[in-house]
Amino acid sequence: MAGDVEENRRLLSAPELPECEGPKLKAFPYRDSRITWIEWINPIIDESTSGGEGYVFKVEINSRIYALKVFKFSNPSQYRIALGPMPKRPVTDAELGFHTDPFYAECRAYAQIETRRRIQGLKRKDIANCYGFMVLTREDEEVLAEYGIDLWCDIPLDDEYRIRAEGSPARALVKEYIEEDVEMDEKTRKHILATIKWMNRNKILINDIYPRNFKGGYLLDLGSSWTKPHCLWQNTSRQTLIAVLTADVVRFEEMVEEMGFGTGRSLRSRPALSEYI
């Protein structure tokens, strides 16, 4: 999100997002329905868990339970340095925002997942469902304020983008609510690893493999993902790209080893880079 308040309101009223080349996620079909806020799923316990890109709630919409991820605002200009002093091609502020803002990053990743599954005729579910995006009402934002949540907390008060855009509607994704978690066993490890490799082959780099981002054997967080076409992917040096393109698999195997489970076998049989590019 890189515009002023009115431009951001216009964007979020669209039937699908983002307005750039590549995959687009559709709006939640019932985005005008009232939200019943039930529980804050990931409350901040300490500095190490404040992480991230947003806040997840258990909610009810039209008598159905969902997980609602409400996104913080971020200034996409922080990623411009990653393009380097001489990018391979010019990147507009709007494109940078659509590719790197965690809200839009998730929109693009979930849209790509839906498209590739449909094209490939896949019926087995590997990733928790995302049902679309929605905008929160003023009443909903007041609920967040009662929880002590400030969606602008990561941007300084005197930041030019914040001055221009504060007051923009709060953005959220409506996702499948996963009630139960599962133990990490061999079956679950293989299932998650296969999912990660499938996403990589289908031009999605997750870039955020941590235990907190998995539940019930499903990956839940794609806010740091790169979905091709992506301005950082296209402007990264080959040497760096080699590391980036294998990082998801490597980090997953490191994660299961740290959890006291895993054999490291996948590290010795990583897919060829040609599968990712």
What residue segments make up the domains of the chain, in order of their start? 1-178, 181-219+237-277
Percentage of the chain modeled with pLDDT above 70: 90
Strand ranges in 50-141 using DSSP code E only, listed in sequence order: 54-61, 64-71, 130-135
Higher pLDDT, 72 or 239: 72
Which of 29-38, 57-66, 252-261 shows the lowest per-residue confidence on average (mean pLDDT)? 252-261
CB-based contact 152:196 (threshold 8 Å): no
pLDDT band at residue 133 using 50, 70 and 90 as cut-offs: very high
Residue 223, by phi and psi: left (phi above 0), alpha (psi -120 to 50) or beta?
alpha
CB-based contact 171:103 (threshold 8 Å): yes
pLDDT band at residue 267 using 50, 70 and 90 as cut-offs: very low
pTM for this predicted structure: 0.91
On the question of a cis peptide bond just before residue 23, with omega within 30 degrees of 0, the verdict is no
Q: What pLDDT, on a 0 to 100 scale, did the predictor assign at position 263?
A: 54
Nearest residue to 71 (alpha-carbon basis) of 88, 51, 90:
51
Q: What pLDDT, on a 0 to 100 scale, did the predictor assign at position 273?
A: 53
Task: Say yes or no to pLDDT of 83 above 50.
Answer: yes
Domain 1-178: CATH superfamily is Phosphorylase Kinase; domain 1 (3.30.200.20)
Q: What pLDDT, on a 0 to 100 scale, did the predictor assign at position 51?
A: 52
pLDDT band at residue 46 using 50, 70 and 90 as cut-offs: very low
Q: For all residues of the chain together, what is the average pLDDT?
A: 88
Overall average pLDDT of the 72-80 stretch: 88
Q: What pLDDT, on a 0 to 100 scale, did the predictor assign at position 268?
A: 45
Task: Say yes or no to pLDDT of 141 above 70.
Answer: yes
Q: What pLDDT, on a 0 to 100 scale, did the predictor assign at position 276?
A: 56
Percentage of the chain modeled with pLDDT above 90: 65
Task: Say yes or no to pLDDT of 149 above 90.
Answer: yes
Task: Say yes or no to pLDDT of 188 above 60.
Answer: yes
Within 8 A by CB and 6+ apart from 86, the residues are: none
